[in-house]
Structure 1
């Protein structure tokens, strides 16, 4: 009799990457990308300033990852993916500059391993704004605060937040969405 070891589903980004590099299974890569798609879209929208173009860019970046993740060893996936998205968008803007001749983008704008601290815009004082962000999180309703901390600070998925808090899925999504809106309002008031 032959016993087969049951394969467990990857949990961490590194496990997903290893599983994809080993198997080439696009479903594995799709699951990993889905966990980070909102961040990729946000980066694209920040640079491209067009919702439809940002959606297209988000999908094109996924297609780029199919090959890139086979070639690169990635230790911090979120940071690396942020740089990939940023560089992709800067290349799009650079190609527009060539066509239109009206946009300046230097080679210094392209960064291989830029740290990911992009809850707050890059142009503002990070240390002071982190303190403001912490104060604003403290002002959120208990439910919003709990869901925001679990989702962004502890990087829990919706299902994990549902399990941990006992809130239903729609409530969790609502608390996160409203919490983000309230944080933005609070941060803007305290500038």
Structure 2
């Protein structure tokens, strides 16, 4: 079978490249592509705050519209981390506007758990990689205890959920969460010592 060179997978642009393209062109499709990478995380964060699917979905749209105005005003080093702060601030402002006691019933906890599973607080390991950070991160990961290392690698580099890691490593989900949390803490200390 002959390979058609046009069917080869094109390398995805980085967040930084998409951000730069949007700044230069103002093309909402470019911003849409960038935002789509983190829409599930933004939705999960909004769901956590509003505890209501409809309000969370509305917030995802409102936050996208907010980005159009906010991006040109800021020097953004890591889009993902910056987006997290913008999204969290948006949710908190909206909640302040709402009168207490008017928030509707709790969202389906399972849906919230599925979204939040990969949307833990952002951490240096979540930042957009650059060569120096990546080398420091690899060196720090090597220093972790084996089970922490395995869990971190599966979670961050293979994008596995707690449940999938639990099955792959034959560990309880709670243990997986614990190894990831402790591993992240150790990585943060290690990375800060290298700065």
TM-score (norm 2): 0.53
In the alignment, the residues of structure 1 paired with residue 67 and residue 43 of structure 2 have an alpha-carbon distance, to the nearest angstrom, of 15
Among candidates 157, 160, 179, match of residue 150 of structure 1: 157
Q: CA deviation at 1:82?
A: 0.3
Match of 1:13 in 2: 15
- Ranges in structure 2 where 5+ consecutive residues have no aligned partner: 1-9, 104-117, 123-143, 179-195
In the alignment, the residues of structure 2 paired with residue 82 and residue 74 of structure 1 have an alpha-carbon distance, to the nearest angstrom, of 12
The answer as to 2:164 corresponding to 1:179 is yes
TM-score (norm 1): 0.54
Among candidates 32, 48, 51, match of residue 49 of structure 1: 51
The number of residue pairs the alignment matches comes to 132
Match of 1:80 in 2: 82
Cα deviation, 1:53-97, whole Å, max 9, x if unaligned, reads 11110111001001111221101111110000100000011001x
Tell me the SS of whatever aligns to 1:66: helix
Q: CA deviation at 1:189?
A: 9.1
Cα deviation, 1:125-147, whole Å, max 9, x if unaligned, reads xxxxx98x938838xxxxxx85x
In the alignment, the residues of structure 1 paired with residue 150 and residue 44 of structure 2 have an alpha-carbon distance, to the nearest angstrom, of 21
Q: CA deviation at 1:100?
A: 3.8
- Ranges in structure 1 where 5+ consecutive residues have no aligned partner: 1-7, 104-117, 123-129, 139-144, 153-174
Query: Would the aligned equivalents of 1:10 and 1:16 in 2 still touch at CA under 8 Å?
Result: no
Cα deviation, 1:106-158, whole Å, max 9, x if unaligned, reads xxxxxxxxxxxx74479xxxxxxx98x938838xxxxxx85x44344xxxxxx
Q: Equivalent residues in 2 for 1:10-159 (5 A)?
A: 11-96=13-98, 99-100=99-100, 119-120=119-120, 134=148, 137=151, 148-152=155-159
Cα deviation, 1:138-180, whole Å, max 9, x if unaligned, reads 8xxxxxx85x44344xxxxxxxxxxxxxxxxxxxxxx759527
State the superposition RMSD in angstroms. Answer: 3.9
Structure possessing the higher relative contact order (Cα contacts under 8 Å, 6 or more residues apart): 2
